[in-house]
Chains A and B, each alone.
Chain A
C-alpha cells in the first residue's frame, strides 16, 4: 500500500510548549520522509526531511524522528511561537512509483499566545 496516516488532524498548543505530529506509512521500500509547512494561501514549504539511514535530525526548534521498524516518523516543534501556526504535512517516498511522494492529510497547528 501507499497510505500515509497523519495524526492529529488539529493541534492547539500554548506558546512556548512543544508540538508533536505523528505519521505512519505502509510501503516498506520508502526511504525518504519530508515535512512541509503550509501557511494560508501559500504553497507548502519543505522544512525538514530525513532519510532511512538516520534515526533523528534536528534543525533549531524542529526535529524529526524515524522508526523504520515500526514504519512511523514524527515532527517535534519545541518552544512554539505564533508564527509556527500553519498546516503541516508529512510525506513518504514511493520508490516503486517513480519516487512520487505520498502525503498525509495534514495537521492544522494553532499556537495560542
Chain B
C-alpha cells in the first residue's frame, strides 16, 4: 500500500532563517506531488506541484521554492523566512486523474 511521510510535525523558526520541509511517498512510482499551505482556519492553497523529477510548477508568487530531486521526494524550501510564511504545510500525492492523498502536515511558526 502507498504511504506518505512528512516531517517535521511542528517547527518554530526565527524570521530570516532558512527552511526545508521534506516529503516522501512509498509504494507508488512517478506520482504527482503537491505542496499546499493552510492558514489558520482557512482553506487549502496550492503552492507547488510536480509531475516528474525536476519538474516544478508554481501556483502563486511567494518566498518559497520546491524541488524534486528523486521520483518520490518533494522538498519545500526558503532561504529567508517571513512572518507571513507561518501556516500549516501539507504535502500530497496522486496518480494522474486519481485520488489525492495528504500527509500529516507541518505546523510552521515564524517568530
Query: Is B100 within 8 A of A46, CB to CB?
Result: yes
- DSSP majority for the B interface? strand
| Contacting residue for B43 out of A32, A98, A100, A105, CB 8 A | A105
Measured in the bound complex, the distance between the Cα atoms of B76 and A94 in whole Å is 24
Residue of B nearest to A105 (CB): B43
> 1/0 per position for B88-103, CB-CB distance to A under 8 A?
0010101011011111
> 1/0 per position for A30-73, CB-CB distance to B under 8 A?
00101010000111111001000000000000000000000000
Query: Is B43 within 8 A of A43, CB to CB?
Result: no
Query: Is B51 within 8 A of A43, CB to CB?
Result: no
- DSSP majority for the A interface? strand
Q: Which residues of B contact A93 (CB under 8 A)?
A: 97
Q: Which residues of A contact B100 (CB under 8 A)?
A: 34, 46, 91, 101
Which residues of A are in contact with B by a Cβ distance under 8 Å? 32, 34, 36, 41-46, 49, 89, 91, 93, 95, 98-101, 103-106
